Amino acid sequence: MTEAAPCRIPPLRPQFAGAAVLLAFLAGAAGAQPVESSFNLYGVPGLVDMPTAEVAPDGTLSTTIAHFGGTTRTTLRFQITPRLSGAFRYSSIEDFYPPGPPPWTEPRYYDRSFDLRYQILTEGRYRPSVVVGLQDFIGTGLYGGEYVVATKAVTPAVRLTGGLGWGRLGSRNPFGSLGDRPSELLGEGGLPTYDRWFRGDIAAFGGIAWSPTDRLTLSAEYSSDDYVQERRDGTFRGSSPWNFGLDYRFENGTQLSLYHLYGEEIGAQVTLHFNPRTAGTPGGLEAGPVPVAVRPPGAAERLGWITDSRTAAQARQELAQAMARDALVLEALQLEPRRATVRLRNPTYGAPSQAIGRTARAMTRALPDSVEEFVIVPVEKGMPLARVALSRSDLERLENDAAVEMLARTRIADAWRAAPPPDPGLYPRFAWSIGPYLQLSVFDPDNPVRADIGARVEADYRIRPGLILSGSVTKKAGGNLDSVTRQGTSGLPYVRTELRQYSIQADPAIEHLTLAHYGRPGRDLYSRVTAGYLEKMYAGVSGEVLWKPVDSRLALGAELNYVQPRDFDQLFGLRSRQTPGGEIPTVNGHLSAYYDFGNGFHGQLDMGRYLAGDWGATVSLDREFANGWRVGAYATVTDVPFDDFGEGSFDKGIRITIPLSSISNTPSRASNTVRIQSLTRDGGARLNVRDRLYETVRDYHGPEMAKTWGRFWR
């Protein structure tokens, strides 16, 4: 039989500036969260150009676009923990030419910078809030500065701020010094500027903020930033250290600001806030679940049905129909006098516990009264992922009580050899989807944003459980990726910097065409073998094995790939491995470790050989929320010298995963990941094979399922 899948939107990779538009949309669609503190021109809690010691609510994701005097700053900021926050800023300055290499010739200078802030003291009755901050601590150093700042509310409407700054924030009227501080800009950027932190001249800054209403704030500050670099190029004419601002916050938290700066300039900004932590659980418009059917007294002892061959068939039919009403698929039912085992496929619910709960409710209504133990085995890509055992009596007694009690009585174990085989007729099956695609290249100094857009058709043919033939084809509607320029070479083979040729020649293009096998080779073990056109640039074979106990926070994996570069037209041909930078190796792979640190923090370490033959490691850290949102970052360092790597020094990026159900408010397992990453380089490049095991497996294991167990009765 065949099956038509609903159209899903494939992952998009929009440019950094587009994050502001994205957050604006999400604020309206999913509900923005008010933030009481004002944000400054750097996109962090502050007065006008100076920081304060205020913090945003835990989990707040903020985007600021600010402009004054030929300078535009776009900042994405995330409150990582209640005290720790990080920010990524992309700035452009007109007619600015920094000294030293590279030889800047463009009329506009683009700069990337990263910030970290930590609140070392919270505000008390007599104690101010105190924050220590590193501004542009990974970058060229143009905005480099450190500060310690204190803020205290002296009345409900008035807040005072005072602080000490180094670097940029110590450049106006310094009153002391803590040793020499390097002043040159780093041409490639991307490296921690630890040799400058809290060194050099020290200057004071401060100000006052008055909020006559909960929407309006007036502020005045004394700035300790003399804009030395900008004055040198004549792009800054400030004649006064005083700045004045007016902030207006709308009900949803959006901040609009107007400023008078340094006696000469007028500035403006908009800040958008969204908090995935408090955005609510996706879904809500789906039909409610059926009630648990409570057995009459003594019914559990009736076993007469086991002599009637029609009972099992009728129970299977009724259960399949009940599950289908909840958009769940019964792949098999193994019925015994006291136990029933269900093979479950969940194409609908992003919260696995919701699929488990609805299946259990349906089982109480369809199965004979003597069946006391319900065993539910969810499968993904044909792999049984967990054995979830529940007591029917507990379901009857605890319905709609606190889900935590049900979780305490639920037994989750490994599903190896626990799932009955699927019923005849379920395989093979076919699914397809159509939607838009957007491919980006960002942070090219000649043009910060380049993109191709078009349409994508995807299809899956599931031959049998665990054996999947899949592919996708794109047709470009327009774009300018064919004008991407390569900024120098690292001396490595060109494994990713041929992007321009793929954009010029690949239309239409086969993005991938693969045959993949997923399996369970042993207890706690999972496997994947994928062969074919693995991604847009490479064909070959990719194999992976994962060790992941169902109750463990730790997982270990290994991947080995044998690849050949594809022709630039992205059809069926292959091309030579020889490139101007050298020969592309055929073999690459990694050893990986995954760990759930708790409180939503997930870490990943990948160590091995990358596409260009360089050896190194990638460290990733994501904060994940029970409703499916994720915010994270990664960094890759290999044996390629930073100077040879090129602009940015090493590969790094930020990613935000958005569950589509939070926008549609209906159940969905689909999501989009927004990636903000540096210009594509050859160093630290990894194969983009689809559906790696860890993300496929872990949602149905104990630690992850417990996080969404509040949806069990929904």
Residue 485 has pLDDT above 70, yes or no: no
> What local confidence, expressed as pLDDT, does residue 489 receive?
59
* Mean pLDDT in residue range 28-46: 77
Tens-digit pLDDT profile for residues 125-151:
999 999 999 999 887 788 999 999 999
What are the φ/ψ torsions at residue 296 (nearest 5 degrees)? Answer: -70, 160
Residue 237 has pLDDT above 90, yes or no: no
Tens-digit pLDDT profile for residues 306-344:
878 788 899 999 999 999 999 999 999 999 999 999 999
Residue 465 has pLDDT above 50, yes or no: yes
**pLDDT grade for 393, boundaries at 50, 70 and 90:** very high
Residue 101 has pLDDT above 60, yes or no: no
* Mean pLDDT in residue range 274-296: 79
Question: 58-67, 255-264, 612-621, 670-679: lowest mean pLDDT where?
Answer: 670-679
Comparing CA positions, the residue from 535, 534, 538 lying closest to residue 566 is: 538
**pLDDT grade for 679, boundaries at 50, 70 and 90:** low
Tens-digit pLDDT profile for residues 535-548:
999 999 999 999 99
Residue 444 has pLDDT above 60, yes or no: no
CA distances (Å), origin 184, targets 112, 123, 142, 274: 16, 37, 9, 37
Tens-digit pLDDT profile for residues 556-575:
999 999 999 999 999 999 99
Report the C-alpha gap between 47 and 260 in whole angstroms. 12
Contact 683, 650 (CB under 8 A): yes
Contact 522, 416 (CB under 8 A): yes
> What local confidence, expressed as pLDDT, does residue 1 receive?
36
Task: Provide DSSP, 202-254.
Answer: EEEEEEEEE-SSSSEEEEEEE-----HHHHHTT------SEEEEEEEE-TTS-
What are the φ/ψ torsions at residue 323 (nearest 5 degrees)? Answer: -70, -35
Report the C-alpha gap between 180 and 287 in whole angstroms. 67
More confident residue, 154 or 708: 154
Tens-digit pLDDT profile for residues 329-338:
999 999 999 9
The four Cα atoms 382, 388, 391, 392 give a dihedral, to 10 degrees, of -30
Q: Are strands 582-583 and 587-598 parallel, antiparallel or unpaired?
A: unpaired
**pLDDT grade for 257, boundaries at 50, 70 and 90:** very high
Q: Name every residue whose Cβ is closer than 8 Å to that of residue 412 and which is 6 or more positions away in sequence.
A: 386, 387, 388, 389, 550, 551, 701, 702, 705
